[in-house]
A and B are shown apart, each in its own frame.
Chain A
Amino acid sequence: MNKARRNPFNIAAMHGALILYTLIALFPVFVIVINSFKSRKAIFREPLALPDAETFSMIGYQTVMKQGDFFLYFQNSMIVTVASLFFILLFGAMAAFALSEYRFKGNTLMGLYLALGIMIPIRIGTVAILDMMVATGLVNTLMALILVYTAQGLPLAVFILSEFMRQVSDDLKNAGRIDGLSEYTIFFRLVLPLVRPAMATVAVFNMIPIWNDLWFPLILAPAEETKTLTLGSQVFIGQFVTDWNAVLSALSMAILPVMVLYVIFSRQLIRGITSGAVK
């Protein structure tokens, strides 16, 4: 370990900076959670105060539970997010494998074409997408959302994963070929486990925007039985009156599942981001 890292002043400064950043990042979450446990008056009187015996109230959570089918929304969000991630990872990894492993005409062009999606926001095509969904009868189905999110996530997934797959030893894949493994077995059994950190990175990058998205659920699947959590929470935000207790409670609950998924992926994520930097 080098000298600079052992110097107590440096350690203090480093930890100070990290703690400060953590506080800044966690502060909004903290405010949302504490206010979700307070009465409406208390929220406006002292937004930063912790709930005490007098201001404590579960009214927000009660409203959320009563109004609308919160668990259905929750389930919808979960289905859409998990299914989209699954398809993004599966198809993204397969396309990345083909691009990095096989020499065929137009390989580079195909790679560029697939990466182009990173630069073009999918929302530009909303009207066309809606037209297509109406034509195929997919409006107000979760399938519509899964398809759109898969399309939205693929470019970045292909881009990141093909970079990582190029680093997987050719010898290993060739050894598999000589042992008579099929290309699918090589892909699933040899290559995928080795790019797991990259898969986790892609999963996290895609998970949060999908979970939080309001746009496509609102346009493609606004029906009661297909509402996602974010869309479901919107009922509490009115043009003139907003039920802040309910909004904050819904948000507090919406944070939980993403956090669980994040914790699952984060260990891999850190390895994915730092791999290559340190051998």
Chain B
Amino acid sequence: MTALTLSNVCKSFGQVEVLKNIDLTVEENEFVVFVGPSGCGKSTLLRVIAGLEDATSGTVEIDGERVNDTPPAKRGIAMVFQSYALYPHLTVRGNMALGLKQARHPKSEIDRRITEASRMLSLKPYLERRPAELSGGQRQRVAIGRAIVRNPKLFLFDEPLSNLDAALRLNTRVEIANLHRQISASMIYVTHDQTEAMTLADKIVVLRDGRVEQIGSPMELYNNPANRFVAEFIGSPAMNFVPGDMIGGSTNTVVGIRPEYAQLGATGPLSGTVVHVENLGADTNVLVNIGTDKPFTVRAFGQHDVSPGSEVGINFEAGNTLTFGTDGLRL
């Protein structure tokens, strides 16, 4: 059973086309991440799925039913927002209960679900507090709790971690992954952070300018990107691109080399001056000016003593490179 099917969905605001012919299926229990640079339409797509925006054309099916004209509350979805969007005048309990009360669930059922959700998210001590009395991380957990109690077929996350600090982001990421293991529901997660996408997703949808660039598992996208955009977007630090003729290839190609597949040496097919060194402890990122627009990044594992200004060579295995045409497509 597919949880969500989008076919040929388009969305435009006046003259501006934000989404162009999106086709997508989300299987049951699948964790799908929409990723792309800001303004690529990923949030709009999520809103179309939620029913907060109407699709200009195309159909949206949730659980096998066409829901284009169904209001958000009746679509069997729950959404977690970037800004938490908690009701300021209600307690944590009230925030979680509102949707269920609105759907006229019996009180005992509401209490049971809130108890269950607050146990999962360790929110018990805060149930009677108002959002203003909670920290950012707690607020986001309440927002997730509010989604859980609705018992949805489909969870929608709109950049839920963007407002959290780095340490909390990691914790909450793990919590979301655990949550997905515990409750059987499909999840759609929007982010611009490729690390979040790689770590959480069963399937990643890379979007650019309202178009789907590629759909695949994280490793598929990493190992086998369809085009230069996906190759550059997935992986951190980003892939290096070198004109083909610099390393003895054809002139009309660009060769992509991931920083982790390149090694520093005294000599090599590429060479240049070190412009910057990032010592991260576990690995060292060395940025080398090899005469292209952007410096070439080499990710050396472990700690290396390289000083900016020194001349180095760069080695790599030909099997670990990807070749792209001038139009950006993989060759």
On A, residues with C-beta under 8 Å from B are: 103, 169, 171-172, 174-181, 189-190, 193-194
* Given A179-B99, A181-B102: A174 in contact with B73 (beta carbons within 8 A): no
The distance from the CB of A54 to the nearest CB of chain B, in whole angstroms, is 59
Are B88 and A179 within 8 A (Cβ)? Answer: no
Residues of B within 8 A of A171 (CB): 81-85, 158
Question: When the two chains form their complex, are residues B52 and A177 in contact, meaning their CB atoms are under 8 A apart?
Answer: yes
B79 on interface, CB distance cutoff 8 Å: yes
In the bound complex, do residue B102 and residue A180 qualify as a contact, i.e. CB atoms below 8 Å apart? yes
- Indicate if the CB atoms of A179 and B102 lie closer than 8 Å: yes
Our pick among B71, B85, B89 for the contact of A189 (Cβ within 8 Å) is B89
Q: Are A190 and B73 in contact (CB under 8 A)?
A: no
- In the complex, B264 has a CB within 8 A of chain A: no
A193 to B71, CA, bound (A): 25
* Cα distance, A194 to B85, chains bound together (Å): 13
Listed A/B pairs (28) with beta-carbon separation below 8 Å: A169-B85, A171-B81, A171-B85, A172-B85, A172-B86, A172-B87, A174-B47, A174-B50, A174-B81, A174-B85, A175-B85, A175-B86, A177-B52, A177-B71, A177-B72, A177-B73, A178-B52, A178-B72, A179-B73, A179-B99, A180-B71, A180-B72, A180-B73, A181-B102, A189-B89, A190-B87, A193-B88, A193-B89
Task: Chain B residues near A172: list those with CB within 8 A.
Answer: 83, 85-87
| For the complex of A and B, 8 pairs with smallest distance between CB atoms | A180-B73, A179-B99, A171-B85, A171-B81, A175-B85, A180-B102, A172-B85, A178-B72
Complex Cα gap A103–B85 (Å): 21
A178: contacting residue among B79, B83, B88, B89, CB under 8 A: B79
How does the 8 Å CB contact mask read for B59-100 relative to A, with 1 for contact and 0 for none? Answer: 000000000000111100111011111111100000000110
Cβ of B177 within 8 Å of any chain A Cβ, yes or no, is no
Q: Provide the bound-state CA to CA distance between A169 and B86, in Å.
A: 10
Residues from chain A with Cβ under 8 Å of B82 in the complex:
171
Complex CA–CA separation, A174 to B44 (angstroms) = 13
Find the residue from B47, B102, B150 having the highest chain A CB count within 10 A: B102
Count A-B contacts at CB 8 Å. 62
Complex: how many Å from CA A181 to CA B71? 11
B247 within 8 A of A: no
CB distance from B150 to the nearest CB of A (A): 8
CB distance from B283 to the nearest CB of A (A): 37
Q: Is the CB of A179 within 8 A of B98?
A: yes
Of the candidates B72, B85, B98, B102, the one having the most CB atoms from chain A within 10 angstroms of its own CB is B85
Please give, as numbers and ranges, the residues of chain A lying within 8 Å of B158 by CB-CB distance: 171
Residues of B within 8 A of A103 (CB): 13
Identify the interface centre among A178, A180, A189: most chain B CB within 10 Å of its CB.
A178
B134 at interface by CB-CB < 8 Å: no
CA separation between A179 and B90, bound complex, in Å? 14
B168 at the A/B interface (Cβ < 8 Å)?
no
Residue B219 at the chain A interface, CB threshold 8 Å:
no
The smallest C-beta distance from A179 to any residue of chain B, in angstroms, reads 4
Contacts of A190 in B (CB 8 A): 87
Contact of A178 with B87 in the complex, beta carbons under 8 Å? no
Q: Is the CB of A180 within 8 A of B103?
A: yes
Residues in A whose Cβ lies below 8 Å from that of B74: 180
Residue numbers in A under 8 Å from B73 (CB-CB): 177-181
**Chain A residues, CB < 8 A from B89:** 189, 193
Contact check, B88 vs A174: say whether CB atoms are below 8 A apart. Answer: no
In the bound assembly, the distance between CA atoms of A103 and B79 in angstroms comes to 22
Residues of B with C-beta under 8 A to A189: 87, 89
Within 8 A of A (CB), among B91-129: 98-99, 102-103
Separation of A194 and B98 alpha carbons in the complex (Å): 18
Tell me, rounded to whole Å, the shortest Cβ–Cβ distance linking B23 to chain A: 25
Tell me how far the C-beta of A104 lies from the nearest C-beta in chain B, rounded to whole angstroms.
12
| Distance between B17 CB and nearest chain A CB, rounded to angstroms | 16
Contact indicator B77/A178 (Cβ below 8 Å): yes
Complex contacts, B88 vs chain A, CB 8 Å = 193-194
B37-71 toward A: CB 8 Å interface, digit per residue (1/0)? 00000000001001110000000000000000001
Find out whether the CB atom of A178 lies under 8 angstroms from the CB atom of B50: yes
Contacts of A179 in B (CB 8 A): 73, 98-99, 102, 146, 150
Cα A180 to Cα B76 with chains together (Å): 11
**Which chain B residues border A180 with CB–CB below 8 Å?**
71-74, 99, 102-103
Closest CB in chain B relative to A106 CB, distance in Å: 13
Tell me whether A178 and B102 are in contact (CB under 8 A).
Answer: no
Nearest-neighbour CB distance to chain A for B325, whole angstroms, equals: 41
In the docked arrangement, what's the CA distance between A15 and B52, Å?
52
Chain A proximity of B56: nearest CB distance (Å): 13
- Assembled-state Cα–Cα distance A103/B150 (Å): 29
Measured CA separation A60–B86 after assembly (Å)? 57
Binary A-proximity of B276-314 (CB < 8 A = 1, otherwise 0): 000000000000000000000000000000000000000
Complex Cα–Cα for A62 and B146 (A): 65
Q: Note all chain B residues with C-beta closer than 8 A to A177.
A: 51-52, 71-73
